[in-house]
Chain A
Amino acid sequence: MANKEPQKILLAHGGGGRLTANLIEKTILPKLANEVLNRLTDGAVLRVNGASLCFTTDSYVVQPLFFNGGDIGKLAVCGTINDLSAMGARPIALSLALIIEEGFPMEILDRVLDSVGRTSQEAGVPVVTGDTKVVESEAADGLFINTAGIGVLLPNVNLSFERIQPGDKIIINGTIGDHGMTILSRRKGIRFDSPLKSDCSALADLTSRILEAVPGVKFMRDPTRGGVAAILNEIAAGAGCDVVIEETALPIDPTVRAAAEMLGLDVLEIANEGKMLMIVASEDAKEVVRICRDHTLGAQAAVIGTVATPQEEGGGIVELLTKIGGRRIVQMPYGRELPRIC
């Protein structure tokens, strides 16, 4: 039996796991390859008249449109701001494109746009251009949003895989899995009542404080689809190192933990929308955690692991030290566990 790639697009192609990576690398990239795109970072860095601009885009198809802690509008603003933040940029402007299904209630659109307005105002990143399309009934599921964002690279920031070394610490600014579990708890069929709340928030203020104070920050990435597991695998592969994280150090809300166990999901693979994974030099770790904890979006920040010398050539292995004293591999998620979480 041949090892065939799927001949049609599967939901898992959108899941942020291995199939997404395959789609990008084998189908999209070969046709569009260029020096900037090939880096496959969260956005592009463009040198324009001596300034370094960051540019990124993201589409939002979350279901349900409203959930505890956020909605598709807030998500569309925060998600794109966070992509720019992860690149070490200060976001300066957003675009907003709406794809609306015929018959969509005006009142709901109003609420979503209120949320877009409020979130962009709070973050200090205005929507400066946009587009509206309406498609026939059933050609889209209510409302899809695309935002693009542009930002300016903060001075003296150099975030790249190349700077990551064994001994560096891995920090996250709070609990993991909150967003994905919240969405799942509202899904038709699973719906269960819980105090779960999405962590959806814009991280630009927190990341710029960190980057301004600590030049030893080497890499940042927001663990959205595919969760912490996906990003750590990307980091390990990109840096050619191994990564070791400790189960007892992972900040996890007890409700999220219980819900994930009930549904048989690994919290490490569940999406976040207000979290940043940061790789920092060991001597700077304490300071980064302190800055996080002084910020409203980082009260439960923690060092969750360490970059390690590769056990095999090329590295790329992510291991979890479990609370019972065992070790196991944390793989790149396949990507089908939670479709349409963002």
Chain B
Amino acid sequence: MMLDRVDDARKRIQDAVAALARPVNIMEVCGTHTVAIFRSGIRSALPSSVKLLSGPGCPVCVTDPGYIDRVMDLAARDDCLVATYGDMIRVPGKNGSLETMNRSNVHVVLSSDDAVHLAREHPKKTVVFVAVGFETTTPATAVAVMTAEKMNLNNFCILSAHKLVVPAMQALLSDPNNKIDAFLCPGHVSVIIGSEAYRPVVEQFRRPCVVAGFEPIQVLEGIAEICRQLADELPQVTSLYNAVVTPRGNTRAWKLIETYFEPYDGPWRGLGCIPRGSLRLKPCYERFDALVRFGIEEIPGQEPEGCLCGRVLCGLIDPPQCGFFGSVCTPDTPVGPCMVSSEGACSAWYKYGRRGTIHGK
């Protein structure tokens, strides 16, 4: 049954590619897709004219270097505890990473709820939650702020680096150098934002946006659908993940985001400031905003010299085209975030590509 579906999807890709008679570049927006694609060897199972580009959907990777420096500064304070998801602790800033500094001020948490608990357990310290991620994790941060508000917890705040997926896709396509023919859209983000959220991308830029789940067969079927739309020259919003993705998404989760956050033109690594692409707490919740509480200015940081993560994130180059890849920059000694994050493109290429040098063919 599964193998029938695999054969069917591969045949549909072959047929569409034959009709297209040109190379096709499909960007998988999300880091979870990147890992699923590498882990299941999908690249090696595709015709050579179909190329997959890894996009800016790994939250650790797109976090601006200046943000890491701000987290490091807060972690160095005696009156602060930094609560962070594990993926962030190895990202290097200009003065090292959270992993290499005094760990007693840095707590790895598995949920925003844990960060709130941490604040309750340490009333003499201010807990700063390192709030990164797309629409999937923002509702959880909103709940944490809501909980802190209800509990009148004065020693909890967040440093928001939350981001929105669709503005990033629009920003990528607005670059005249982009090579993107279509987007494979992430299942989990789409559960929240709904498939209709991609409508502006299709209408404005005429690129197919196909939502797929993370099973290898679902990814393969997503690629088949994209190839068909390209061959037919009929770009559409299509969800192949209908079991969980609705056109309007999870309105309750959206409501949480909208209650606590507002979009603004915040900095992204590699993509610069994207119009209304980032989320910050609304002014009425500024007492939970670490920037306000500690009087910190949001200054975009500098990428490590020579690091090409920014270009990788935009799908402009493949990781091995970066001079650092596999030599100075490895998962043991990462220079840029795309090598740090388990969902980063460089890490996936290094881990699942042959000797880290060529892609999975």
A residues lining the B interface (CB < 8 Å): 1-8, 10, 18-19, 22, 189-190, 261, 264, 266, 312, 317, 320-329, 331, 334
Contacts of B43 in A (CB 8 A): 326
In contact, B111 and A19 (Cβ under 8 angstroms): no
User: B355 contacts A317, CB within 8 Å?
Assistant: yes
A331 nearest CB neighbor, chain B only: B351
Contacts of B35 in A (CB 8 A): 264
Alpha-carbon separation in the docked complex, A54 to B182 (Å): 60
Q: How distant is the Cα of A133 from the Cα of B122 in the complex, in angstroms? A: 32
Tell me the bound Cα distance from A322 to B304 in angstroms: 36
How far, in whole Å, are A329 and B347 apart by their CA atoms in the complex? 13
Task: Decide: A5 and B331 in contact? CB cutoff 8 A.
Answer: no
**New A-B contacts (10) at CB < 8 Å, excluding given A317-B354, A326-B43:** A1-B324, A3-B333, A189-B114, A264-B343, A323-B40, A324-B41, A326-B42, A328-B41, A331-B350, A331-B351
Chain A minimum-CB-distance residue to B5:
A324
Taking a contact as CB atoms closer than 8 A, the residue among A3, A327, A331 that contacts B360 in the complex is: A327
Are the C-beta atoms of A324 and B331 separated by less than 8 Å?
Answer: no
At the interface, is chain A mostly helix, strand, loop or mixed?
Answer: loop
Q: Nearest-CB distance from A228 to chain B (Å)?
A: 14
Chain B residues within an 8 Å CB radius of A6: 100
Q: How far is the CA of A249 from the CA of B350 in the complex (A)?
A: 25
Q: List, in ascending order, chain B residues with CB within 8 A of A189's CB.
A: 109-111, 114
A261 to B36: give the CA distance in the assembly, Å: 10
Which residues B133-175 have CB closer than 8 A to chain A? none
Contact of A322 among B40, B111, B329, B330 (CB under 8 A): B40
A328 to B360, CA, bound (A): 6
Judge whether B45 and A326 touch: CB under 8 Å.
yes
Q: Is the CB of A323 within 8 A of B330?
A: no
B39 and A266 contact, CB distance less than 8 A: yes
Residues A3 and B328 in contact, CB atoms below 8 Å apart: yes
For B, the interface residue count at a CB cutoff of 8 angstroms equals 45
For B324, give the chain A residue with the smallest CB separation: A1
Min distance, Cβ B55 to any Cβ of chain A, angstroms: 18
Question: Counting CB contacts under 8 A, is B306 at the interface?
Answer: yes
The smallest C-beta distance from A55 to any residue of chain B, in angstroms, reads: 31
Q: C-beta contact mask, B15-46 vs A, less than 8 Å → 1, else 0?
A: 00000000000000000100100111111110
Does B342 sit at the interface, judged by CB under 8 A? Answer: yes
| Contact partners of A312 in chain B: CB under 8 A | 355
Report if B332 contacts A (CB, 8 A): yes
- Tell me, yes or no, whether B216 is within 8 Å of chain A by CB: yes
The answer to whether A334 touches B6 (Cβ under 8 A) is no
Alpha-carbon distance A328/B44, docked complex (angstroms): 8
Residue pair B110, A190 in contact (C-beta under 8 Å): yes
Does B355 lie within 8 Å of A3, measured CB to CB?
no
| Residue pair B328, A2 in contact (C-beta under 8 Å) | yes
CB of A10 within 8 A of CB of B99, answer yes
Q: Which of B114, B332, B350, B353 has the most CB of A within 10 A?
A: B332
Q: How far is the CA of A2 from the CA of B355 in the complex (A)?
A: 21
Inside 8 A of B329's CB, which chain A residues have their CB?
A: 3
* Assembled-state Cα–Cα distance A1/B96 (Å): 12
